Structures are given as C-alpha cells and as structure tokens.
Structure 1
Amino acid sequence: MNTTRTFICIDFPSEIIKEITRVQGLIKRKKFTGKLTKPENLHLTLKFLGNINEEVLKKVQTQLSKIKFPQLECRLVQTGTFNYKLRPRIAWIKILGLNKLQKQIDTTIDSFPQEKRFMSHLTIARIKYTKTPKELINHISQIKTKPLKFQINEFKIKSSELKSPTPIYKT
C-alpha cells in the first residue's frame, strides 16, 4: 500500500510572506551554505503525521472535520536558530497564537503520538555550513521582525515529496 509523507499546517497571507522574505534577505547578508525556504513553500506545521496511507488519511480527515475554532489572531514575534553541536541548522521565525489550535489537533487525532514540546515556528532557512557559526546565530537572533498580526481561519493537510533541490508540497 502506497504511503505519503503528510502533515497538518497553516499557510500565510501575502503581507506576511512579504515580511518573511524581507527577513530572509537580511539573513542572506551573512555567508553560509544552505537554502532559504521558497515563498511558495512557506507554511507552519501544526502536526507531522509521517508516511501514511490513504485509509489513515481518510480517518484523519474525518477526525479533523470535527474541529471548530474561532478565527485566530497570530503574529510574528522573533527570529532564532535551532542548533546542532553549536552550529546553526535551521533559521526560524516564532509565531504566536497557534498553541491552542495545535493542542486541539493533537488531542483530536488520537492515533498519533502527541507533541511533547510544540514551538510554533516557521522555518525560513536550512543552514548546512558557515565558517562563523556564533556570528551567524547572533546575526539571525538580532533580526527584528515587524510585529505584524494576521488572521487564521483554516488549517490544511499537505503532503510532501522530498526531492532535490527542494521538497514538493501538495494540498
């Protein structure tokens, strides 16, 4: 039986994508090997389901259809990095306003493990190498995002194919 790499996420309005690409431009000023997330691929994953088949996907869709939530006000907060052995690997923007929705999704889909530590963030760059890791970490963490607010009234189920050079996402 075929499986597809699947996740639940939100997409962003165009004014937020514009701000994200501005921040990416500031990150690019420092030298590193890696990739910025393409604007059309920007999303925030609320729950990663892994490789699932069509039968499981239909169950998940049925469970998720029961979730009702008011329109959420979210906002960009800060930039930062996830590091591995003191080297930056992921540059992100933290987003406020999605924790309750994520918990609701987590408890509704009972056949998947619950997230232990959800940090509402958007991956804006994947970093492979830099000669100056501390400098890059400091540079990214000091970038100020505009405190833009935006509304979320839906989430989506997407799948991805991990193909080089970038993943292909489908709704």
Structure 2
Amino acid sequence: MAEKIRTFISIELPDEIIQEATRLQSLIKNKKFDGKLTEPENLHLTLKFLGELSIEQIQKVKSKLEKIIFPEFQATLAETGTFSYHSNPRIIWIKVTGKQIFQLQEEIDQVLVEFFPKENRFMSHLTIARIKYVKDKQDFIESIKKLPIKKLKFQIKEFELKSSELKPMGPVYKTLGTYKLVSV
C-alpha cells in the first residue's frame, strides 16, 4: 500500500504573533486544567485540513494551489475563547480577523473542489492549547474569554502546504510547498 501523508494548508505566523500567543499561554498555565499547550514552533492558522494523502494526490494539490493569485493582506488578533464538546472545553484559541482570510480560504476551497468538500464551518483561529479535563468548566471558559489580548495586526504574504507526523511528544510539521501572495 502506498504511503499516506497527513496534510493541511496553513499560514505561518510572524514572530510578534507567536510571542503574543506564548504570552497568553503563560497566563493560561496559572489556570487549573489538564492538557497541553501548543509548542511555539507549531503555532499556525489552518486554512484547510486535507487528511491522509498519497504522494500523487499531494502533487495534484500542489499544482492546483500554484494557480491561486491572491493579494497580500493584513489580519488582526481579536479575542480568546474555547471550542467545547458536550459542554467540555477542548481547545483554547485566539481568533484572527480579516475578511481576506475567509476569501483566501474560499479560493483554496474553490481550486480544490474536485478533490475535497468545501469547508462549512471555517473559523480563523490559532490553537494555543488542547484540554483533556477542567474541573470548573464555566469559570474556566469565562476566564479564557477575559485574557488580556493585544490586538496585533500582521501581514500575510504566503500560505503553505504542510505535512503533519503525529509523534508521542506532539506533531512534527514539514513544509511541502510555499505559495506567495501578490504584493500590492
């Protein structure tokens, strides 16, 4: 059987955004929960998760992504929050705003439509922690919403096709392709 590679499309983050995310993570450490913070080198904004692909499928995806012509744009860190499953918080995120993120994500969906279904519930965010258990759920969720975030703006100049190898210590990401946006 041919090797399958777990893949996704994402935006890498500038240092000042990673620094703000790690600052917020340091505030989260004081809160009582069982879980894991995202390693700084693994912080990114996922535009589309593609799943397990063969080398041949990856080549087809690369050729489609190369056709995207999209201008560089600015995005902003907006707020913190959680994704919950059956009222249990599972993910702590930083929301990223900027309508062009959604437009770029739709453009990616469009060029890959023959291979993958469209995203129905895309939310532009950075995952900064994964939660296994928290005792006082409601207080925890409210305290995450109140984290003092710096609403930093940053320029997005490219996106990447990445592989993700799941290891016991956490995922290891590798860049399979980089796609420059058009300078305006």
For this structure pair, what is the TM-score category when the shorter chain's length is used for normalisation? Answer: over 0.9
Aligned to 1:120: 124
> How big is the alpha-carbon RMSD for the aligned residues of Structure 1 and Structure 2?
0.8
Instruction: Work out the percentage of aligned pairs sharing the same amino acid.
Output: 57
Aligned to 1:83: 84
Question: 1:54-82: CA deviations, max 9, x gaps?
Answer: 11101110000011111110010000000
Q: Provide the C-alpha distance between the structure 1 equivalents of 2:37 and 2:149, rounded to a whole number of angstroms.
A: 16
Aligned to 1:105: 108
Aligned to 1:150: 154
Question: 1:62-114: CA deviations, max 9, x gaps?
Answer: 00001111111001000000011211100000001211110100111121110
Q: Provide the C-alpha distance between the structure 2 equivalents of 1:145 and 1:99, rounded to a whole number of angstroms.
A: 22
Q: Provide the C-alpha distance between the structure 2 equivalents of 1:69 and 1:152, rounded to a whole number of angstroms.
A: 11
What is the count of residue pairs matched by the alignment? 171
Q: Provide the C-alpha distance between the structure 2 equivalents of 1:144 and 1:78, rounded to a whole number of angstroms.
A: 9
Q: Provide the C-alpha distance between the structure 1 equivalents of 2:30 and 2:47, rounded to a whole number of angstroms.
A: 30
Q: Provide the C-alpha distance between the structure 2 equivalents of 1:128 and 1:165, rounded to a whole number of angstroms.
A: 16
Aligned to 2:137: 133
Q: Structure 1: 5+ residue runs without aligned partners?
A: none
Q: Structure 2: 5+ residue runs without aligned partners?
A: 176-184
Decide whether the 8 Å contact of 1:87 with 1:134 is kept in 2: no
